Structure 1
Amino acid sequence: MDWSGNVTRSVSKPHGQNLFLQSLVEEGQNPSTSNGASNSQKSVEDKDLVDCLENGVNFWTDYSKVQYHPQSLYELHGSWTDFDKFDNYGSAQEVVSDWSQIEEMNERLRFFVEECDHIQGIQFIVGDSGSFSSVAAQFLENIADDYTNTPVLLYCVRDPMTLGSSRMNQRESIMRALHDAVSFSKLSSFCNLMVPIGPPSLIRSYMSPYLYIQDEKPFHASAVCAAAIHSITVPFRLQRTGPSSDLAHSSGNLDIGELLHILSDQGRQNMVTALDVAMPAPSLTGGQRTSISQVKDSVCSVYEARETKPKFSHLSASLCPLPVPLPFPSIFRGNIGRHGEILSDHAEESQPKGSLDIESILMAARLRSSSTVLPFIERRSGSLQKHGVARGAIGSLVLRDWGFGREEVDDMGEHLAKLLRPFHPEMDLTSDSD
């Protein structure tokens, strides 16, 4: 049957490149021109780039300067037109039910796995506040089936602004609570260790004396998340040495499987881990360069002085600080020096600092198997029981619309209850593993 009626064609305007992306293209085409620019001209140009990034970032592609492999990026077909509605677990049913799309994602991962001589594990980052958690759960399930003995480390990140519920009506609030519960249950079912990243408000967090973060700018929050992930994964990239040998520039190599064993296998069976970050970390030697042995001695002395000591711990250290190049956002307060030192006697400036003022910072990050994560798990388990499982729960219709039958909802509730059991008082889990 042929259509004989009128045809209306709608073409969206391409998202234009900002000044920062334009400068990258120009540098790639004329490297000699950019290298030959005077310092004064370069500083003026860099200031314009900083202003552009601070005020004009709408998407992650606005500040990414990575050259991606053609197999690295995959567009979810049929979802981009309704992206604003892609905000709950059920919105992605069209994507996850299209097996051809899921299989294409599997093939792209398989391409990179086959390029590896040895795979120590898979690190997976997902924004779990919207429907991407549903897509990720389906992808992780396939990974668990295809790579049975490969450890999977999952980072769940979210925008601080998505955590506020003051403007939600009752139905929206219930949907948000159910989304968090279902997302957590599904994602945790297909990974070996989960690391939630993203405090409710970065601007009010313990890092606020040193960072100037606007919660409404994901560009700011993503920089902190990226710095945290970069720091806690340093052990995976260190050179492997003998059990008792240390290099002058690094110490404490660890692969993903060994990390999972330390944090979740030591009789605790706790696969949700707390992340602590000091950004920037305080100097141990009053601004002087610190040696690996000084770092180890300082950290060990702090642990020895604690009233409650961890059952297990592992320390990794590297003399390489975290670089702060463009396009890193201007999120540091005036009491941070050029190399990340904390200037205690420095008057706080009104303008935040960024890559034009700071070259690098010291970082300290810690993963803990601790009861700190208990409220995180309890809140999600309680939400599912209250809004989805209890008799007459008004959220049961929402779960049904998302494609979940009663038996599957009960299974999710049992899985969340299982995650709570290691924290039961008679399990005697009073100390941490770091």
Structure 2
Amino acid sequence: MSSLCREVITLQLGHYSNFAGTHWWNLQDASLSYDPESPPGEIQSDVVFREGQTLGGHVTYTPRLIAMDLKGSLRTLRQEGSLYDAGKDTSAVTWDGSITMHEESPPAKNSFLEDLDKLDKGEILAEADFPSSSQPQCSAARSLSVDTVNSHLARVQKSYRLECSVKVWSDFLRIHLHPRTISVIHQYNHDGEAHRLEAFGQGESLLQGSVLEELEDRLHFFVEECDYLQGFQVLCDLADGFAGLGSKVTELLHDSYGGRGILTWGLLPVSHPDSTPVKDLYRLLNCTLGMVHMASHSSLFCPLTLRGGLGRRPSSPTMFTHLSYDPSLWYHSSSVLALALDTLTAPYRLRNNSVPMWQLADDLAVSGRKVVAAYGAVPFPMMHGSSLPDALSTYTDVLPWRPLSGCAEAGDGRCYGQWATLKGFEGQKLISSLAAGTKPPTPLHSLHSGEDVLASYIRSFYPSAPLALQLVSTPSELAPPFPQIFSQSLGAQGFLEGQPPPPGSTPRVVSSVPVMTSLQSGPALDPWLSELHRGVSAFDIRRVAPSFLSQGPEVLDYQEALEQLRLLARCYRDDSRGVMRSSSEEEDDD
């Protein structure tokens, strides 16, 4: 029951990872309470946030975060941020000659960023900008008594439509960042045709010289102010050269901070706006090499994507019954992954009964199986006013979650280990409240705790698999500018309503949602990884894509990585009885 704060440092490597990371940090920020009289929340925000002080003596609360991206990726956001701005100092200018000024208009800010500026300056936004006072408010907003930028945003729930205006992740960033957070890689461009970070070897070769020195300096800054550092959560793009950079970064963390947990999430968007056959091939190669190398240097590695697979010809994107999102919009797809990540990371961020990163990894990464697959019910389908047994008993033939790693469940009850988390059932009943003498409609309705209900339900699908689970009542709070991608069958708190809103009425605004996730290590990863191996082994890279190897890796290193992928897939292979096969048996099949 200890509330000891075990800090986590987050690294975001690449543009799509920063999209998902921005949504994730916005979710964390929306759940903060600024009221000193309110009781401590279930999630201990100090795990990922740090308290600091500006030069003017103002207390700050910023993410313990290092975010790396390319030149031109920030648009209106200054690399050093604005929170610690000491003003411009012109006293050091000594040039006496003539000066030619070239002025360039800054990018236009969208309506959300304009409102943030107004609130930062203490300006009062017009009441007409917001819905009426009858608009439902999230629970975090009700607890806020301090007048802050974020408390304003949480209370007003203005409906922003940013789908056409979001170009980069900073276009919807609602929090201030520390000056040591953003690291821009100037050797490569975010946009354009020239100087693009497209290949694994380019990213690998980046982590040296000034880039390495700057990263080590930022790491030391955040590490030294931690009292009980439990580890690092790394969000890294898999489809481009950031896969190579992430491989070197995780290797650095592994070598420099031994004994700390390293949970790496490899992110892939559903689609890219500039897809060509050659670029798609590059992305497949980056994904393959990145997974192999980052898994070897991490405590646990999990791809996160709504693609129907990691290959060049994936099936349809993952869809959810109560979501209406556009898979082609990074702003949308990354928001779904961020909601899932909020629940996936909850176990090691809890104030009480938290599970350290290394324990989570030890429970799942057994016998060298460091790659896991994620699944999620986003949102968890639960009728308003019902109970957890009621919700689960409607899914007797199939689990309510969908793939979040492009890996379908085997469906045969075999699993080496699973970690399930249900977050956001606040106000709902975890057990049935049947009248005395009433026969329970299902076995779930006869159980006496939420943990027993959820465990019994999951074990009906995985009867012999090791299972760990966590229940967190606090939901994910959806403050602006989280996109309203939810069906009108959901109420304000994300639970299913019995009736749709009347025709012509104002669309419902969902302010929080329940989510259920699962991290799994099982035989389903064998065909998934084997298919990836077959995809990259089906062609001669020296003939089809010789330029990919121009900056590394060497051909022998590339071939060794493919062999490691083959062996990794074999780690997840078993027979119909769920018993691991011997190496000699597998060699006979190869």
Q: Give yes or no for TM over 0.5.
A: yes
Report the Cα offset of residue 49 of structure 1: 6.1
Which secondary structure does the structure 2 equivalent of 1:54 belong to?
coil
Is 1:286 the counterpart of 2:396? The answer is no
1:305 corresponds in structure 2 to: 460
More strand by proportion, 1 or 2?
2
Q: Is the 8 A contact 1:341 1:361 kept in 2?
A: yes
Report the Cα offset of residue 362 of structure 1: 0.9
TM-score with structure 1 length normalisation? 0.81
User: Which range moves more in the overlay, 406-415 or 287-296?
Assistant: 287-296
CA shift digits 1:147-178 (9 cap, x unpaired)? 1221210001111014x99x634x44433332
Q: Is the 8 A contact 1:178 1:395 kept in 2?
A: no
Which secondary structure does the structure 2 equivalent of 1:286 belong to?
coil
Which amino acid in structure 2 is aligned with residue 155 of structure 1?
A: W
2:351 corresponds in structure 1 to: 239
1:327 corresponds in structure 2 to: 481
Is 1:215 the counterpart of 2:327? The answer is yes
1:320-399 matched pairs, under 5 angstroms: 320-343=474-497, 345-346=499-500, 357-388=509-540, 394-395=543-544, 397-399=546-548
Q: Is the 8 A contact 1:136 1:187 kept in 2?
A: yes
CA shift digits 1:22-65 (9 cap, x unpaired)? 1111112116x24xx54x54228999964441321111000001
Is 1:175 the counterpart of 2:175? The answer is no
2:267 corresponds in structure 1 to: 157
2:450 corresponds in structure 1 to: 295
Is 1:14 the counterpart of 2:106? The answer is yes
Is 1:184 the counterpart of 2:326? The answer is no
Which amino acid in structure 1 is aligned with residue 362 of structure 2?
A: H
Q: Comparing both chains, which one has the higher relative contact order based on Cα–Cα distances under 8 Å and sequence gaps of 6 or more? A: 2
**Separation in structure 1 between the aligned mates of residue 266 and residue 561 of structure 2, nearest angstrom:** 18
CA shift digits 1:204-236 (9 cap, x unpaired)? 656432001111211101111111111111111
Which amino acid in structure 2 is aligned with residue 119 of structure 1?
A: L
Q: Is the 8 A contact 1:157 1:197 kept in 2?
A: yes
| CA 90–234 in structure 1, closer or farther in 2 if over 3 Å, else same | closer
Which secondary structure does the structure 2 equivalent of 1:188 belong to?
helix
Could you tell me which of 118, 121, 124 is aligned with 2:234? 124
| CA 315–366 in structure 1, closer or farther in 2 if over 3 Å, else same | same
Which amino acid in structure 2 is aligned with residue 28 of structure 1?
A: D
| CA 204–362 in structure 1, closer or farther in 2 if over 3 Å, else same | farther
TM-score with structure 2 length normalisation? 0.61
Which amino acid in structure 2 is aligned with residue 53 of structure 1?
A: L
1:246-257 matched pairs, under 5 angstroms: 253-257=354-358
**Separation in structure 2 between the aligned mates of residue 395 and residue 194 of structure 1, nearest angstrom:** 29
CA shift digits 1:294-348 (9 cap, x unpaired)? 4213212213433x42431111111101111101001101111111112354379
Is 1:316 the counterpart of 2:417? The answer is no
1:100 corresponds in structure 2 to: 210
1:77 corresponds in structure 2 to: 186
**Separation in structure 1 between the aligned mates of residue 179 and residue 340 of structure 2, nearest angstrom:** 27
Is 1:225 the counterpart of 2:337? The answer is yes
| CA 283–93 in structure 1, closer or farther in 2 if over 3 Å, else same | closer
Q: Is the 8 A contact 2:386 2:429 kept in 1?
A: no
User: Which range moves more in the overlay, 149-158 or 412-421?
Assistant: 412-421
Structure 2: unaligned runs, 5 residues or longer: 1-99, 133-151, 310-314, 388-426, 432-447, 581-590
Report the Cα offset of residue 132 of structure 1: 1.6
Q: How many residues align?
A: 398
**Separation in structure 1 between the aligned mates of residue 223 and residue 238 of structure 2, nearest angstrom:** 24
Which secondary structure does the structure 1 equivalent of 2:235 belong to?
strand
Which secondary structure does the structure 2 equivalent of 1:123 belong to?
strand
1:55-66 matched pairs, under 5 angstroms: 55-66=164-175
Which amino acid in structure 1 is aligned with residue 265 of structure 2?
A: Y
**Separation in structure 2 between the aligned mates of residue 376 and residue 311 of structure 1, nearest angstrom:** 20
**Separation in structure 1 between the aligned mates of residue 184 and residue 209 of structure 2, nearest angstrom:** 14
Q: Is the 8 A contact 2:130 2:158 kept in 1?
A: no
Please, what is the CA RMSD of the aligned residues?
Answer: 3.5
2:391 corresponds in structure 1 to: none
1:420 corresponds in structure 2 to: 569
1:242-281 matched pairs, under 5 angstroms: 253-265=354-366, 268-281=367-380
**Separation in structure 1 between the aligned mates of residue 328 and residue 264 of structure 2, nearest angstrom:** 25
Which secondary structure does the structure 2 equivalent of 1:152 belong to?
strand
Which secondary structure does the structure 1 equivalent of 2:374 belong to?
strand
Structure 1: unaligned runs, 5 residues or longer: 1-7, 242-252
Which amino acid in structure 2 is aligned with residue 286 of structure 1?
A: S
**Separation in structure 1 between the aligned mates of residue 204 and residue 569 of structure 2, nearest angstrom:** 32
2:556 corresponds in structure 1 to: 407
Which secondary structure does the structure 1 equivalent of 2:558 belong to?
helix
Q: Is the 8 A contact 1:291 1:319 kept in 2?
A: no
2:222 corresponds in structure 1 to: 112
